[in-house]
Chains A and B, each alone.
Chain A
């Protein structure tokens, strides 16, 4: 299988061949991460694992002053909407790839639900080309499983894989035709194409805008029951069993689904799963009072569901935490709740939300970082990127008026989750340059 990833981006960011020395950083690149450990000097190499060095760097290797900051591997995101091709008011590859760096991501899987969807070679080539020019995180496109994501006919999955798609999926579009799903899974299995699928019934909860629980009931909002996820997940699991397809279940939302995934893995099925960072923090209570800032396509469910998702990450049932990044312009939020476009632009707040997990969610830092580095890489069989390092200022308070994404719908952080900032990003052993100032809002 070819090395996935935008070859253009590779050249632009020097995925191979760059070297630099980080002077005085806390080493978070290994198995153990202790933010309070004594800083050391590291040699970062695009082609080899990082190693400690003493004294001066080899000739010609630039030195970056790490200022005692925490060095972590660059993160990999299994699901983000980068909005291009599509209306630019919601973001472009330029804006969102740079925002991804602010979240600590050096590698992002692009959701297939662009306009048009990622179902043709032309669209894939456009995405890869614009991403390379953007100079931000590397972009790995997810192909649309069906043409136009309409759920009627399979897209040219093998061809799309050949030109750089790392997986195929339906985005947030449900797939009613079970027979087509079965065929697509069998076909994908034949080419060893992993599928990134959200478990979502085509009818149950399809008009809902919030978890089908107490808050939605009180507010008179149409609910999305847990069965909308679990029935679709059961269907996926059965089809994995029968077709042998590799399925990564994207963006879980309920305790029952976590249990289903655990059971399927125990039975040895090639199933993996992730959860959106926001779903480790928020619940249905947060949208009480019709708070449109918490409208989300994957609903925020109960505290018990959130606790189960946290437990799933902690025990490894859920391999990865993704951003589920969905930038929206101001107009998209200015309507009564049921008519609001759902989604959160999480890139710019991903890091503080991740760093808060040990304290608020009982997920050890080691495990949280693994869930955004080794975990997602393993799911898609992606090569490690030893030259991708982010320097993180663990104690820096987030400035609520500053962000990079074109979206204005950033998650609302509470007091316990608002410290942590990416200070510098290295890709392929070279520093990634962000050429524009982040946007400010009064």
Chain B
């Protein structure tokens, strides 16, 4: 009775990349390994490989994001693809044109791939279900649901520092309820079998059923940091800070901010991560974000390799079809 997930073909290979739900450890590891092989491309004289030469990738961003869009654009260009950036924030959707009608117009671009970012949960899957079958859809973030390339680049970064994920204690801090990054991180870490995923934040920002995502809620940050190998801070959006779910950013920082003192409670070789952009003094102290344990900048480069891997694998899986 339920609809099949459009992202996998009959053999379980990725035809789209929409979310990490239901993906196997082998699939994820395969993407990470391919990303490792693609990562050095950026160090060479010619920073491209010809895999996607002649293909067109269209960035369909219904929601603003310069950094993610640039990351996808660069990844596509490194694969020698042509890139179209379509800004849909102000234009047609504001005029009331339905998403479906917008898609029909965009199909005329004859792109091989759409990278989609949208404010509604489920938008990427909706687009994958309704777009013509020749187009591969990559989810660049849909509402509060998923940001699968972010989830992957986070575990890629973790794996580089701590290869045995099954031994790791990972701590996620902050707004889980509204965070697609958190959902994708939880999914990636669960699939790869992280030993323990602790989730810390005010009760208004951590879902009651977070155990179903593989997370263990802990109310106090200090306690949660003991024995932590990886600490992941999450962005606290301004709307939440204005008395909505949290009384103020300073109260949040006092109880949930990652300071140097708190970091010292974790294992001495623990790494600090954040998907960016960071709110210094809210989620994380500036000195920690810039400190020796921070791998925040690495996450950005990781994003490039992971997105190159995802794009080439998805289009590679569609090889031999018309």
A and B touch in the complex (CB under 8 A): yes
Q: Which residues of A contact B (CB under 8 A)?
A: 213-214, 217-222, 286, 288-291, 331, 334-339, 412, 414
4 residue pairs, one from A and one from B, having the closest CB atoms: A220-B144, A220-B145, A290-B122, A336-B120
In the assembly, what is the distance between CA of A53 and CA of B289, in Å? Answer: 89
B126 and A335 contacting across the interface, CB-CB below 8 Å: yes
Q: Given A217-B212, A218-B183, A220-B144, is A336 in contact with B118 using a C-beta cutoff of 8 Å?
A: yes
A335 and B100 contacting across the interface, CB-CB below 8 Å: yes
Q: List residues of chain B with CB within 8 A of the CB of A288.
A: 2
B130 and A220 contacting across the interface, CB-CB below 8 Å: no
B180 within 8 A of A: yes
A336 and B122 contacting across the interface, CB-CB below 8 Å: yes
A338 and B212 contacting across the interface, CB-CB below 8 Å: no
In the assembly, what is the distance between CA of A219 and CA of B98, in Å? Answer: 22
A54 to chain B, nearest CB (A): 47
Contact with A along B173-211 (1 / 0, CB 8 A): 000010010010000000000000000000000011110
B194 to chain A, nearest CB (A): 18
Q: List residues of chain B with CB within 8 A of the CB of A218.
A: 21, 183, 212-213
Q: Given A214-B209, A290-B126, A337-B126, is A220 in contact with B3 using a C-beta cutoff of 8 Å?
A: no
Closest residue on chain A to residue B210 by CB atoms: A217
A220 and B5 contacting across the interface, CB-CB below 8 Å: no
Contact partner of B207 (CB less than 8 A), chosen from A217, A338, A412, is A217
Q: List residues of chain B with CB within 8 A of the CB of A217.
A: 177, 207-210, 212-213
In the assembly, what is the distance between CA of A290 and CA of B210, in Å? Answer: 19
Interface size in chain B (residues, C-beta < 8 A): 30
A-B contact pairs, 15 of them (CB 8 A): A214-B209, A214-B212, A217-B177, A218-B212, A218-B213, A219-B121, A220-B180, A289-B2, A290-B126, A334-B99, A335-B99, A336-B118, A337-B120, A339-B120, A414-B1
B123 within 8 A of A: yes
Within 8 A of A (CB), among B67-99: 98-99
Q: List residues of chain B with CB within 8 A of the CB of A337.
A: 120-122, 126
Contact with A along B112-132 (1 / 0, CB 8 A): 000000101111011000100
In the assembly, what is the distance between CA of A333 and CA of B111, in Å? Answer: 26
Q: List residues of chain A with CB within 8 A of the CB of B144.
A: 220-222
B146 within 8 A of A: yes
In the assembly, what is the distance between CA of A219 and CA of B213, in Å? Answer: 11
Contact partner of A220 (CB less than 8 A), chosen from B100, B126, B183, is B183
Q: List residues of chain A with CB within 8 A of the CB of B142.
A: 220, 336
A335 and B121 contacting across the interface, CB-CB below 8 Å: no
Closest residue on chain B to residue A223 by CB atoms: B207
Closest residue on chain B to residue A225 by CB atoms: B208
Q: List residues of chain B with CB within 8 A of the CB of A331.
A: 98
Q: List residues of chain A with CB within 8 A of the CB of B21.
A: 218
In the assembly, what is the distance between CA of A213 and CA of B125, in Å? Answer: 21
B143 within 8 A of A: yes
In the assembly, what is the distance between CA of A412 and CA of B98, in Å? Answer: 25
A291 and B3 contacting across the interface, CB-CB below 8 Å: yes
In the assembly, what is the distance between CA of A383 and CA of B144, in Å? Answer: 51
A219 and B122 contacting across the interface, CB-CB below 8 Å: yes
In the assembly, what is the distance between CA of A217 and CA of B146, in Å? Answer: 11
B2 and A286 contacting across the interface, CB-CB below 8 Å: yes
Q: List residues of chain A with CB within 8 A of the CB of B3.
A: 289, 291
A291 and B126 contacting across the interface, CB-CB below 8 Å: no
Closest residue on chain B to residue A334 by CB atoms: B100
A338 and B130 contacting across the interface, CB-CB below 8 Å: no
Q: List residues of chain A with CB within 8 A of the CB of B180.
A: 220
Closest residue on chain A to residue B100 by CB atoms: A334
In the assembly, what is the distance between CA of A288 and CA of B122, in Å? Answer: 11
| Residue of A213, A331, A337 with highest tally of chain B CB at under 10 A | A337
Closest residue on chain A to residue B176 by CB atoms: A217
Q: List residues of chain A with CB within 8 A of the CB of B125.
A: 289-290
B273 to chain A, nearest CB (A): 21
B76 to chain A, nearest CB (A): 24
In the assembly, what is the distance between CA of A220 and CA of B121, in Å? Answer: 6
Contact partner of B122 (CB less than 8 A), chosen from A286, A338, A412, is A338
In the assembly, what is the distance between CA of A339 and CA of B123, in Å? Answer: 10
In the assembly, what is the distance between CA of A339 and CA of B122, in Å? Answer: 10
Contact with A along B1-22 (1 / 0, CB 8 A): 1110100000000000000010
Closest residue on chain A to residue B182 by CB atoms: A220
In the assembly, what is the distance between CA of A336 and CA of B146, in Å? Answer: 14
Besides A214-B212, A289-B3, A337-B126, 4 new A-B residue pairs in contact (Cβ under 8 A), listed by A number: A217-B213, A220-B183, A334-B99, A336-B122
In the assembly, what is the distance between CA of A289 and CA of B8, in Å? Answer: 13
Q: Given A289-B2, A290-B122, A334-B130, is A220 in contact with B212 using a C-beta cutoff of 8 Å?
A: no
In the assembly, what is the distance between CA of A412 and CA of B3, in Å? Answer: 11
Contact partner of B121 (CB less than 8 A), chosen from A213, A286, A336, is A336
